[in-house]
Structure 1
Amino acid sequence: MPDYIEYAKLLFQEFDSDLVNRFVQIGISASGDEKSYWVHSGVGRGEYSESNGDTFTIEKSDLAELVLLFSLFSAFFKLDLRTQKQCYEKFLAITSSISFGEKLHFAYLIFLVMLEAKDPVIFKEYFSFNKNQVHEKKELIKNKFSSFCNVRIRERLYRAIDFVSFYSKYAFAEPDEVSTAMGASTGSSAEARLLISIKNNQGNMKLYEKWVLLACNLD
């Protein structure tokens, strides 16, 4: 398997770490193993998923979460080095063109950037579904791309398709649906953090498609 982590680290080595605060932090474990925390803190719900050979890890740093997510989706789409570099440059173009003040969802953004780079037709089809066709959106992506690579967030291992499923459901959801999901989630969970941000920036979630297409036009 290509070393997606090492190449992502290379791409991000000159990224301004001060800009990390522009993104919603979801608590991805750099080490890939937090079982002791899960066991002793009492916040665990359900079974603990053991890390495996497909769990991405990295040295702890301010940029670790971005590098891990970039690597996770690079593996999901099986991108070559050239395309990864192009996607990184599009990501930079998008983040530099958006005004400060709103928290960006890196997982959603990089998923869309890479989807458009890998298959523009499927990118267009993905956005052709209405907000209620969550299953259709997920299946469109799931039937075309796959990867066992994962990252750890608390007791769970998350694959790229898990993030795809989440954003397919909530990026265009009605405010009351987001609020209901927030009430059902654990306050410290990744989903809770993302849902709070979506509720606070709901209008902006609908702009990600436009941002990606504008970045593509800069090529």
Structure 2
Amino acid sequence: MKLLLLEDDDLLAESMKDTLKEDGYVVDWAASIREAESFMSTESYVLTIIDLGLPDGSGLELLERWRKQGWQLPILILTARDTWEDKVVGLRGGADDYLTKPFHMSELMARIYALIRRRSGGVANILSVNGIELDEFSRRVSVNGGCWQELTSTEYRLLRYLMRHPDRVYSKLQLLDQLYSLEQDAADPNLVEVYISRLRRRLGKEYIQTRRGQGYLFVSH
């Protein structure tokens, strides 16, 4: 899943990106409102993290503008402003949650997970489709109640994306976009074939099907 991080503190942003990537997320980082709006115009995200104090404007005004434009994705405010009045203003402006600096990374991860789970209507950390169970906390997979298998970070991100969008065909480039952030060097689309092959060895060939000339899909039945 892909997140947008809008934070102008380079050191904090790098630390957050590393932690988020370790947990299986793909992160695009913007240090200004201009960059964030550019990302939002071309990319699709499951959640956005916004700092309020930015070099080219107010994160709160950006949040309110996005809500007026109809953006419905979860938005988490991250800021040093810690009074209850600031929190009320942020939440009324359209934020889904509010976390003040300094904070523990574990709390940030828990809040992100809760927001995504709430938006998807889920109540558990086990994603289950067609006999495949994916534990989104431990990044393990089980086939038809069998032993749990550990997944690499990339295997996990790819499988989670396919399982969250079953019966939809995705091209190599679309899947690659979910595996790597925009700032990374362009990856070879053939890497998708490599990871699809690895997942098939773990799950069985029947779960991830190939549509020749189109891409791949995870079958739900």
Q: Which structure is higher in RCO with an 8 Å CA cutoff and minimum separation 6? A: 1
TM-score exceeds 0.5: no
Q: Highest CA radius of gyration, 1 or 2?
A: 2
TM range (shorter): 0.3 to 0.5
Structure with greater helix share of residues: 1
- TM-score, with structure 2 as normaliser: 0.35
